[in-house]
Amino acid sequence: MSTDAHILTRLERLPIGRPQLGILLAGGLGHLFEALDIVIIGFMLPHLKTEFGLSNGQVGLIGGAAPVGMIVGALFAGLVGDRFGRKKVMLYALLLFCAASIGLAFANGFAFVIAVRIIGGLGAGAEAAIVSPYISEFATGHNRGRFVSGVTLFFSLGNVVAAVLGSFVVPLHDGWRITAVACGLPVLVLLWWRRSLPESPRWLLAQGRVADADAVVSRLEERVIAARHGTALPPVPPDAAVAPAAPPLSRSPLEVWRNGLARVSVATWLGSFVFLFAFFGFFTWMPSLFLEIGIDPGIAATYSFLLFVAQPIGYLAAIFVSDRFERRTLLVTFFGFATVASLALAMVPRDSVALLFIGMTLSICITCISGIVYPYCSEVYPTAIRATGAGLASTAGNAGGLVAPVVIGFAFGTIGFGGVFAAMAALLAAGAIVIRVLGPRVTGKTLEQVFADETTSGPAPSRTGEVHAGQ
């Protein structure tokens, strides 16, 4: 067995324990602050408009500034993460985000707000793109799905924190400035914590830094043993099969179209675009659409609140099923369920309580997709270009999230509530088809096995003890 394969086999046989959960928590908290940043600005905008005398157009530009930054941040995070390491990107992404959040508290006008929102978006986009690849590279083929899905649960927690701050702190005198500082200062603590995180051993091996990768895995083994109160680890399988080395890969973003990865890239890009179009389109517009179709404002507020309350159910469901069933099949299934729910919303009577329950069902389906699509996009590329591939998929997704509110806003005036959700159903169905036809099977396989299967004519059966070197 080669040294690379031996290191990966040691990593794959580690049981999940406190050390890996600490890595997950450090990554997940970044997602919490990312979600907090996305949602809290909606509570701040009316106060910014009043204080700086902004027009509706300027308010719209502020709302769109961070998503533009996120698109750029996600793109560059992948490229930089594959060249200089996952950990560095995670640190600098948080630093940008923290500086922008605290900087917002000192804003003195429209231009300043736009600038710090774009900078914050760069950090948030980079954070979103790099965390899942980093976390996935510490997980095993047996538990990678629920391990990485667990990170996405922090998105819904960030929404809850945003709702609390937005409801009780932002309305205070200078409350939006206080909130900006409150959102930024805790990031400094997380930034300090992340300094102690190890670099991904898989990335180190891809760079030829075998000794460094061995040191990371050895330290992880020691910490797992300590967390198990001295209980010995499972033995390293002496006869683990090692596949031939993967074809050499450059760091060029064009690699995502080579070595059998073109269909994978189409699947992840379009799947991510459809998912985030539905996510941002639904959760951004649904509170307003309730009012537009004549629902009482008090009832509409309750309905909107319950749509967000339903989110954690979807994330928890994703964690539960992610390693029990093939993740490609789960994505197709939940895209399909979301299609049906969206069609039902298009047809249900507007004054029926069924509108709420169908809306909550769609909320759960969309967040189920969220809990599975992030691990999926981070595991279908080889280590040498994993961050690039995931970053490009995230960029495509952020583009969908950016255009969705605009498209739905114009579409509602033309085709109405039913037309909007009928069109969304068609888009979700297209996402299901693309994933089913082009997406690879991943569950139960090591990251190395996933790529090895993609370069063959068809998917190979899962061999959980098999580790491939040289990727």
Quickly state the pLDDT bin for 251 (edges 50, 70, 90): low
**Is residue 183 located within the same domain as residue 36?**
yes
Query: What's the number of domains the chain is made of?
Result: 2
**Is residue 7 located within the same domain as residue 120?**
yes
| Structure confidence at residue 217 (pLDDT) | 96
- pLDDT higher than 60, residue 373: yes
| Structure confidence at residue 301 (pLDDT) | 81
In a domain, 234, yes or no: no
| Structure confidence at residue 461 (pLDDT) | 40
Could you identify the residue written with the tokens 């400094």?
188
In a domain, 339, yes or no: yes
- pLDDT higher than 80, residue 164: yes
> Percent of the chain, pLDDT > 90?
59
In a domain, 230, yes or no: no
> Percent of the chain, pLDDT > 70?
93
In a domain, 239, yes or no: no
Could you identify the residue written with the tokens 């902004």?
54
Do 381 and 388 touch, CB atoms closer than 8 A? yes
| Structure confidence at residue 246 (pLDDT) | 52
CA distances 292 to 32, 69, 394, 421, Å, are 31, 31, 32, 14
The SS3 assignment for 467 reads: strand
**Is residue 280 located within the same domain as residue 348?**
yes
**Is residue 363 located within the same domain as residue 277?**
yes
With the CA atoms of 405, 409, 410 and 412 taken in that order, what torsion angle do they form, in degrees rounded to the nearest 10?
130
**Is residue 411 located within the same domain as residue 266?**
yes
The type of residue at 263 is R
Question: How far is Cα 402 from Cα 392, in angstroms, rounded to an integer?
Answer: 15
**Is residue 259 located within the same domain as residue 218?**
no
Question: How far is Cα 2 from Cα 398, in angstroms, rounded to an integer?
Answer: 40
Do 144 and 323 touch, CB atoms closer than 8 A? yes
**Is residue 290 located within the same domain as residue 213?**
no
Question: How far is Cα 156 from Cα 38, in angstroms, rounded to an integer?
Answer: 12
- pLDDT higher than 60, residue 189: yes
**Is residue 21 located within the same domain as residue 131?**
yes
**Is the sign of the CA dihedral 257, 258, 262, 265 positive or negative?**
negative
- pLDDT higher than 90, residue 270: yes
| Structure confidence at residue 247 (pLDDT) | 52
| Structure confidence at residue 6 (pLDDT) | 87
In a domain, 372, yes or no: yes
Q: Which has the minimum average pLDDT: 68-77, 80-89, 290-299, 320-329?
A: 290-299
The type of residue at 398 is N
Q: Average pLDDT of 243-267?
A: 75
Do 47 and 170 touch, CB atoms closer than 8 A? yes
**Is residue 8 located within the same domain as residue 147?**
yes
**Is residue 109 located within the same domain as residue 48?**
yes
Quickly state the pLDDT bin for 43 (edges 50, 70, 90): confident
CA distances 278 to 17, 131, 153, 156, 420, Å, are 35, 22, 18, 16, 11
**Is residue 127 located within the same domain as residue 29?**
yes
Q: Average pLDDT of 185-191?
A: 89
In a domain, 232, yes or no: no
- pLDDT higher than 70, residue 249: no
Domain boundary among 207, 224, 241: 224
Q: Which has the minimum average pLDDT: 77-86, 286-295, 325-334, 391-400?
A: 286-295
In a domain, 85, yes or no: yes
Quickly state the pLDDT bin for 449 (edges 50, 70, 90): confident
pLDDT digits (tens, 9 = 90+) for 384-440: 899 999 999 999 999 998 888 888 888 888 899 999 999 999 999 999 999 999 999
Question: How far is Cα 284 from Cα 159, in angstroms, rounded to an integer?
Answer: 12
Do 156 and 311 touch, CB atoms closer than 8 A? yes
**Is residue 297 located within the same domain as residue 174?**
no
Residue among 327, 436, 425, 314 at smallest CA distance from 370: 314
| Token pair listed for 140 | 């095993």
> What CATH number is attached to the domain comprising 430?
1.20.1250.20
| Structure confidence at residue 422 (pLDDT) | 96
Question: How far is Cα 141 from Cα 332, in angstroms, rounded to an integer?
Answer: 21
Q: Average pLDDT of 94-118?
A: 95
In a domain, 235, yes or no: no
- pLDDT higher than 90, residue 21: yes
The type of residue at 410 is F
- Averaged confidence pLDDT in the chain: 88
Its domain, for residue 390, covers 253-456+464-468
| Structure confidence at residue 468 (pLDDT) | 46
CA distances 440 to 47, 109, 237, 381, 450, Å, are 47, 49, 27, 10, 8
